[in-house]
Amino acid sequence: MTGQTAYQELEALFQKVHHFTHLSSMAYWDSATMMPPGGSKARGQALAEVSSLINDLVGSRKTGDLIEKAETARDGLSDWQQANLREMQRQHFNASSVNSELVRAHALASSRCENAWRELRMENNWKDFEPLLSEVIDLTREQAAIRSEASGLSPYDALLNLYEPGQSSSTIDTVFARLKAYLPDFVKQTVEQQKGEVLIRPSGSFPREKQRALALDLMKAVGFDFNHGRLDSSHHPFCGGVPEDVRITTRYTEDDFSESLMGVLHETGHAKYDQGLPGAWLSQPVGQPRGMGIHESQSLFQEMQVCRSHAFLSFAGPLMAAHLSNPETPNACWEADNLYRLYNHVQPDYIRVNADEASYPLHVILRYELEKDLVNGNLKVRDIPEAWDEKMQEYLGLSTRDNYRDGCMQDIHWTHGMFGYFPTYTLGAMNAAQLYHAARKAIPNLEEQISRGDFEALNHWQSQAIWSWGSYYSIDELMLQGTGETLNPDYFIHHLQQRFSPL
């Protein structure tokens, strides 16, 4: 077999994987949005089966041999094919490091833990949750040790690399140290400074159907492609599905629309990245998103940089009023200045997903520090609640003692077996600020366009900077070609200073 033939066989193999990933993604989406509770056991088994099949296909010895063979013909491949081969190699390495029995055990334990979590969190029941989480963490540590052995990275970095290829915790430690030194005081100052602000909060009832109609209007305005996607509801909002059919979800609260609204726009940012991936390469590794930190940069670009800006809120205000106005909410509520104050109000709170932009990184840093210790064995599962409480007090001045629901049981990530994922949220926030800074330089009247609801130039710019590249570049290269430099936390800090300076 020639190297060229080997490469062609690899493309065919990864296309097959793409089809199975399609089924897996849709089944996962369904389990969060549509599935009745009694279906969860069978679903968990089906998902575990296909994930083990995918792992076998990607990680097989045969795939490894084909990659080796294809490497010999590298010079005859196009640039994109070469990048594709590199990404195949990366996926093969990740899949082959861990045997499929362990992958399956981990998936099953996670599914058990996640299913129980929904109830147990409501009940604030840490006691029954702890053994389920322990099981997940034991299997995670087992995986981390094997991946560490194979890659030469630390156990935590070996997991981090699954979500953020090529990144290391030492880099993250450095940028997070910067934020940790800056943010606690900044949060306090901003709370002080905002004390005098008059906020007109929307009140009354906002029926789900009206919230949904507004969300659909805004999704459409910013460029979500409804021919290739949907909006639904789930307990924990996410962006799922496949690039050809992106499924985003939200959760509605009838007495407060604001949470759902910005949540939808956040997921829309994720979705636009997926929908904008290079069409010719969707079935191949190089056509996939470039890691979760970049993915989150696109959601936060949409939500934080664009949609919480004064310009966007002056565009969205009238639409919000048209859908949601009611006798209890004065018209002044829908004015841009008021919305801007509402959507940029800093208030340390327990829940990460509700956190304001300035507190949010502190939630992430807390989780990052704890999960590093959990993976490295420096923290026992039973000690999580206490460690959580301590750090919450230190970073945000709040105690979560005996409040597991709003403390260490609030997130789905660990129950789902995802360790090494949390830092990508704040990497995303920093990337987003840096990218938006570059976009503003490239599009001189950007804010004026946004205030008119015109996102064409901006979407085009994002497509050129990020979306259309898939995994062609490394993360550093991608940021470099998109913004002229690699990750620089200054842009984020500068953004916060601007965002929270008085109007």
Q: What is the 3-state secondary structure (H, E, C) of 58-75?
A: HHCHHHHHHHHHHHCCHH
Query: At 203, is the secondary structure helix, strand, or coil?
Result: coil
DSSP secondary structure of 107-146 = HHHHHHHHHHHHHHHHTT-HHHHHHHHHHHHHHHHHHHHH
* Nearest residue to 166 via CA among 233, 90, 217, 238: 90
- Least Å distance, CB 222 to its own copies, is 17
Q: Which of 2, 19, 382, 441 binds its own copies (CB under 8 A)?
A: 19
Binding annotation for Zn(2+):
266, 270, 296
286, 83 in Cβ contact below 8 A? yes
Q: What's the closest the beta carbon of residue 225 comes to its own copies, in angstroms?
A: 7
The residue from 8, 9, 30, 341 that contacts its own copies (CB under 8 A) is: 30
Pick between residue 165 and residue 276 the one whose CB is nearest to its own copies: 276
Q: What is the CA radius of gyration of the chain?
A: 23
**Which residue among 8, 9, 13, 20 contacts its own copies (CB under 8 A)?**
20
Q: State the nearest-atom distance from the C-beta of 442 to Zn ion, in Å.
A: 24
Please answer whether residues 155 and 168 qualify as being in contact, where contact means their C-beta atoms are separated by less than 8 angstroms: no
CB 224 within 8 A of CB 239: no
Residue 35 Cα distances to 39, 112, 118, angstroms: 6, 15, 14
Q: Which of 71, 245, 256, 477 binds its own copies (CB under 8 A)?
A: 245
Q: Which residue is nearest to Zn ion (CB)?
A: 299
Cα distance between residue 212 and residue 233, in whole Å: 10
Q: Is residue 63 part of the contact set for Zn ion (CB under 5 A)?
A: no
Between residues 40 and 124, which has the closer beta carbon with respect to its own copies?
A: 40
Stretch 255-284 residues interacting with its own copies (CB under 8 A): 282
101 is an interface residue for its own copies by CB under 8 A: no
Q: Which of the ranges 143-151, 223-231, 256-264, 299-307 carries the binding residues for Zn ion, by CB under 5 A?
A: 299-307
DSSP three-state, residue 256: strand
Q: Which stretch binds its own copies (CB under 8 A): 23-31, 115-123, 256-264, 328-336?
A: 23-31
As measured in angstroms, the least distance from the Cβ of 428 to Zn ion is 7
Q: How many residues bind its own copies (CB under 8 A)?
A: 33
Closest by Cα among 360, 359, 499 to 423: 360
Q: What are 187's two structure tokens?
A: 């949060």
Q: Output 211 or 483, the one with its CB closest to its own copies.
A: 211
Pairing, β 245-250 against β 229-233: parallel
Question: 332, 338 in Cβ contact below 8 A?
Answer: yes
Residue 299 found at the interface with Zn ion (CB under 5 A): yes
Residue carrying the six token digits 């997130």: 411
Angstrom distance (rounded) from CA 214 to CA 319: 7
371 in Cβ contact with 144 (< 8 Å): no
Q: Which two tokens stand for residue 146?
A: 């094997």
Comparing CB distances to its own copies, the nearer of 41 and 127 is 41
The answer to whether the CB of 166 falls within 8 A of the CB of 473 is: no
- The span of 38-46, 110-118, 129-137, 387-395 binding its own copies (CB under 8 A) equals 38-46
- Does 230 help bind its own copies (rule: CB under 8 A)? yes
Q: Of 267, 303, 357, 369, which one is the catalytic site residue?
A: 267
Q: CA–CA separation, 306 vs 447, rounded Å?
A: 9
Nearest to its own copies of 28, 360 (CB atom): 28
256 binds, among its own copies, Zn ion, none (CB under 5 to 8 A by kind): none
Residue number, 299 or 305, with CB nearest to Zn ion: 299
Q: Using the rule CB under 8 A, which residue among 1, 34, 122, 280 binds its own copies?
A: 34
H/E stretch holding 249 reads strand 245-250
- Residue positions in the annotated binding site? 266, 270, 296
Cα distance between residue 304 and residue 307, in whole Å: 6
From candidates 22, 104, 251, 341, binder to its own copies by CB under 8 A: 22
> Among this protein's residues, is 135 annotated catalytic?
no
Residue 299 binds: one of its own copies, Zn ion, none (C-beta under 5 to 8 A by kind) = Zn ion
Smallest gap from residue 392 Cβ to its own copies (A): 38
426 binds Zn ion (CB under 5 A): no
CA angle 425-316-455, nearest 5°?
70
Write out the residues near its own copies by the rule CB under 8 A: 16, 19-20, 22-24, 26-27, 30, 34-39, 41-43, 45-46, 48-50, 225-230, 242, 244-245, 282
Positions marked catalytic: 267
Which stretches of the chain bind Zn ion, using CB under 5 A? Answer: 296, 299
